[in-house]
Structure 1
Amino acid sequence: MATPQTGKKPSFSERRPVLAVLIIELLLLLAVFAAGAVATVKQLDYTSPVLMSFTPMAVVLIIYLTLRRRWAETGFRSLRTIPVQHAKYYIPLLLVLGTIALKGFAELTLAKVIFFIFFTLLVAFVEETVYRGLIFKTLLRKSAMAAVVTSSILFSITHMLNALSGQSMADTLLQLIYALLLGAVLALLMLKNGNIIPLILFHFIHNLIQFLSDDLQDTNTLPYDLFLLIVLGVHCVWLIYSARKEKRISADAGAAGLEVTH
């Protein structure tokens, strides 16, 4: 059935948003699992599964967004579209980056830095476009809560794949909680400003710092991890409070407008 406003037939994601999201998530997981199996059999480097799965995904996403002209709709907009007064909501993300950088960096070579710049930019583009772009925007047709909660849970579930690489259950659980809170923060920022560029930049720098960090030093990172969880938790509460406040102000303004017209 065509919509009366546009005369166009609704897309599959508009007619079946939940099913569309499930298909997107299953395809992503299937691609990563298949690439992981190939990498295991051929005993490839630990970055190989992501490169093998995310590279074609990035190409498909670029072609899809270009042909369907959905770049802006997915959140790829000028940073100038973000209100100046909303810049403060990104400050906690800088605190997160500063905290994970405290562990220091490993001995680096130019080739290693260049490789991980490409690698982390690829991951940031694909994951943000999928979770805070396609999945978030699709579920936003249901409700803001559905979009934020579901996209965050799916983002966290995807990181369960690290448990298959020999990571301890405790570390995996901590990472799942961290990914859930981080996903919620990024989704709430997407809800507030509708701009995916800052999220991709943060995700890129966040992962780059982690990959270039000194993993060999024998230090207890639990205090840092707990601090990050607290920062992200408080950030979530702040963003939720701000969203509800703006909604209440908007509703009051609308009610006042109706009274004036009457």
Structure 2
Amino acid sequence: MKNFLYRHALALFLVVMFGRVILGMLAVKGIQLIDPTLSIQKDLGWLVMLIYASFTFLAVKWVKVDKEIGLTMPKSSKDWYAWIPTLIIPLTIVYLLGFNSTWGHIPLLLIAAVGVAVNEEILFRGILLRAILPFGKTVAIIVPSLLFGAAHLSNIFVGGDVTFALFQFGWTFFSGMALTTMVLANRSLLPAIAFHFVLDATEYAATGEFGVHSVEYSIKWLSILFFLNVAFFLYSLYMLKKSNTKSQNLFMAGMPK
């Protein structure tokens, strides 16, 4: 089984994708048998994200593809500093929405943010990217990101606001392409996980929700976030091109004169 999943990255993606959902839902149903008043949206989102992340991380460690998908440190500290400009996105969220969570709620929001970042980056920018990369970088950037965006539409079925979910599909598609490009440029998942954590932690603290947003937000706010993610994607493309140019120059420098 392990060898099969190692050789077939798409099969590994599907097993992890559905396995984490089944495990998370069983945990929620078990808790709700004890206390039916608890909901994913308001109470248990952090636990579901923690279960998802743990299952996903342990799966890639078990199959031993963790290093192959980029769960290693970048080669240079510059691979971290280069992404500082992208922090304009969480800073904009803070500016527009402020802080709307109680201090007692913060630990749960941080756990949820860690869970989402680890789970989604390993799943979409790690396992699925490994499966699709043989078809070329363009396909590998677009296809997982479309699936990443579509996955967020499921929030509609658990009480999320429809308008928010539609905009979320748009910006998660572009941010997905940006994060995929970031991973390709750095050859590491860790900067993408770190950025994803900061972004989600800021968003959760600003909205007070674990990613399933039932509150209506202004079209202006949603549009600003959408265009910021488009800009994030363009910046990532620039960084990938710069990384490819550097790699080519190093290759040429190593050739015999």
Taking structure 2 as the reference length, the TM-score comes to: 0.76
Cα distance in 2, alignment partners of residues 120 and 195 from structure 1? 19
The CA distance in 1 between the partners of 2:60 and 2:8, in whole Å, is 19
Q: When the two structures are aligned, how many residues end up with a matched partner?
A: 247
Deviation for aligned residue 1:56: 3.6
Q: CA deviation at 1:192?
A: 0.5
2: CA distance, partners of 1:107 / 1:207: 14
**5+ residue gaps, structure 1:** 1-9
The aligned counterpart of 1:123 is 116
**Aligned mates of 1:55, 1:101 — CA distance in 2:** 24
1:190 aligns with 2:186: no
Which of 68, 73, 82 lines up with 1:78 in the alignment?
A: 73
- Structure 1 residues 18-97: aligned runs within 5 Å: 18-30=10-22, 42-45=36-39, 46-48=41-43, 50-51=45-46, 53-79=48-74, 81-82=75-76, 84=78, 86-87=79-80, 89-97=82-90
- Once the two structures are superposed, the pairs formed by residues 91-106 of structure 1 within 5 Å of their partners are 91-102=84-95, 103-106=97-100
Residue aligning to 1:243: 240
CA root-mean-square deviation:
3.6
- The Cα offsets for residues 142-172 of structure 1, whole Å up to 9 and x where unpaired, read as 3222322222122112211211133343221
Which residue does the alignment assign to 2:154?
A: 161
Aligned to 2:102: 108
1:174 to 154, 159, 167: 167
CA separation in 2, counterparts of 1:210 and 1:189?
A: 21
Q: Distance in 2 between matches of 1:203 and 1:246?
A: 21
What percent identity do the matched residue pairs reach?
Answer: 19
Indicate how the Cα distance of structure 1 residues 62 and 148 shifts in structure 2: closer, same or farther if over 3 A, else same. same
Distance in 2 between residues matched to 1:134 and 1:47, nearest whole Å: 30
Q: Does residue 225 of structure 2 align to residue 233 of structure 1?
A: no
2:27 & 2:123 partners in 1: Cα distance? 18
Q: Which residue of 2 aligns with 1:7?
A: none
Partners of 1:118 and 1:178 in 2: CA distance: 23
Distance 1:212 1:168 in 2: 18
Give the Cα separation in 1 of the matches to 2:160 and 2:58.
35
Structure-2 separation of matches of 1:173 and 1:198: 27
Aligned to 1:207: 200
